[in-house]
Structure 1
Amino acid sequence: MSDTNLLLKRLQAFEFLRGLDPDVLLQLAESSTWKVFAPDAVVFWEGDVESSLFYLQYGSLKIVKSSQDGRAQVLRFISAGEVFNEVGVLAKKPNPATAIALEESGIWLIPRQTLEAVILAHPQMALQIIENMADKIINLVTLAADLSLKTVEARFSKLLLDQPEGDVIERRRWMNQTELSAHLGTVPDVLSRVIRELTKAGLIEMDKHQIRILDRDELIKRAMLQDK
């Protein structure tokens, strides 16, 4: 799973690396470090200054922001194929949140020194990375608005509608009500009640392996979405 050639193929598919010479991509691949994290292992802590760009080859992560009183908000889940930690690489600032493996996860660490050299030679790459960061900022602003303005039912409905699988959502082993509640800014008991209500209304079905959307139009209304 840690084959450099495999990483090279992945790099060739990245939008922000498109157009770079094969030799440049090979340089990035050969300078990268491979690490495997066990379930519940911390990839980096909030406050750490991490000088590598991360590429998640397989597995799943969660990005968590914690308060002084111990409460935690899951900011987002990271799936295989995603790049993260642009803040540490470009801004050279401490990480604003903690990254935790939800299952065994294989990650490539692309060092800042090599990345900076490539960016200096190919400025368009920096613009693509900044665009990627901007998308994540927009998602965080949306999350903040949802937590403030929408009910748990609306937030959960929107979460289901946003899944790329469509109307049949496969539940990963870690996708339990505790993790989903943390992401939605609520507690498992409240989420359980919402799931029961949506199930009773005939909008979804949920078991250990899947969540099925049965009435997308009505779920859109429950999510308080427009022009979805």
Structure 2
Amino acid sequence: MKNDILLKRLQDFEFLRGLDHETIEALAKSAVWKVFAPHGVVFWEGDTESNLYYLQYGSLKALRTAPDGREQVLRFLDAGEIFNEIGVLAKRPNPVTAVALEESGIWLIPRHALEEVVMKYPQTALQIIGNMADKIIDLVTLAADLSLKTVEARFAKLLLDSAEGDVIERRRWTNQTELAAHLGTVPDVLSRVIRELTKAGLIEMDKQHIRILNRAGLAERAMLQGD
């Protein structure tokens, strides 16, 4: 039954378009299902991974750890996302650690199954490379933001990018520690930024939601007025 769910999802993936039903079905049958508890490590930075991952439910963070133990969260992953293309295709040590933020169900598609598809359908490799390129662009943007923008600007931009309408749902793990790690700062600094944005009437926060009250003002704080 679980493989049937995966099969339906694989048929919708952009990077697998053009494949016949039998090929996608074989790919689904090769997959292994795993459930990770909150804070469970899916893989470690430096591991040589041999699987492509599909996050069916739950949430993850991809991070790097400094020698002093400080974390830099590079991205959050939500249900429906594919990840670890570099590990499975480049056969190089993984550049990040992936950790479950809540209970997460993940499909592991083995390298050998994906390689068979790529050898038979070269256009699939190009589509996967395109998917990887989009993520590389996101990382370049993150690096530029960390270097050139203040914590306030980075936080304001994160809120604008994450909002559904003008509301960001606060999930159990969306706390100031995780957000600070993603923004390249510490919780105390982020707390001061939140107080300032709240005092300015740009946002309001409670335990369930963050609400944008003044989108234009928040965009100005995010240094987006010239975009």
Q: TM-score of the superposition, structure 2-length normalised? A: 0.98
Identical amino acids, percent of aligned pairs: 74
Match of 1:53?
52
**Deviations 1:5-60, CA, capped at 9 Å, x for gaps:** 00001001100011211111100000000000000000000000010000000000
**Deviation of 1:85 (Å):** 0.3
2:127 corresponds to: 128
Give SS of 1:81's match: coil
- Deviation of residue 227 (structure 1)? 5.4
> Matches of 1:78 and 1:227 in 2, distance apart?
29
**1:226, 1:30 → 2: CA distance?**
49
Hey, what does 1:179 align to over in structure 2? 178
State whether structure 2 residue 90 is matched by structure 1 residue 91. Answer: yes
Q: CA 1:164–1:212 in 2, change beyond 3 Å: closer, same or farther?
A: closer
CA distance in structure 2 between the partners assigned to 1:166 and 1:106 by the alignment? 28
The separation in 1 between residues aligned to 2:171 and 2:226, in whole angstroms, is 29
1:189: which partner in 2? 188
Quick one: distance in 2 between partners of 1:227 and 1:7? 42
CA root-mean-square deviation: 1.0
Deviation at 1:164, TM superposition (A): 5.2
* CA distance in structure 1 between the partners assigned to 2:61 and 2:220 by the alignment: 28
- Is 1:157 matched with 2:156? yes
Matched residue count: 227
2:142 alignment counterpart: 143
Task: Please tell me the residue identity of whatever aligns with 1:157.
Answer: A
CA distance in 2 between partners of 1:147 and 1:140 (Å): 10
Distance in structure 1 (CA, Å) of the matches to 2:93 and 2:34? 21
Unaligned runs of 5+ in 1: none
Aligned to 1:205: 204
| TM-score between the two structures when normalised by the length of structure 1 | 0.97
Gaps of 5+ in 2: none
Find the aligned partners of 1:115 and 1:165 in 2 and give their Cα distance: 34
Specify the code of the residue in structure 1 equivalent to 2:114: L
Q: Distance in 2 between matches of 1:130 and 1:226?
A: 32
Q: Residue 221 in 1 paired to residue 226 in 2?
A: no
Question: Which 4+ runs in 1 deviate beyond 3 A?
Answer: none
Deviation at 1:174?
0.4
The Cα of 1:226 is off from its aligned counterpart by 4.0
Q: CA deviation at 1:69?
A: 2.0
The one-letter amino acid paired with 2:211 is R
Tell me whether 1:76 sits opposite 2:72 in the alignment: no
Partner secondary structure for residue 119 of structure 1 = helix
Q: For residues 56 and 203 of structure 1, do their structure 2 counterparts lie closer, same or farther at Cα, with a shift above 3 Å needed?
A: same
Pick which of 158-167 and 177-186 moved more: 158-167
Secondary structure of the residue that 1:93 maps to in structure 2? Answer: coil
Quote how far apart the aligned CAs of 1:225 are. Answer: 1.2
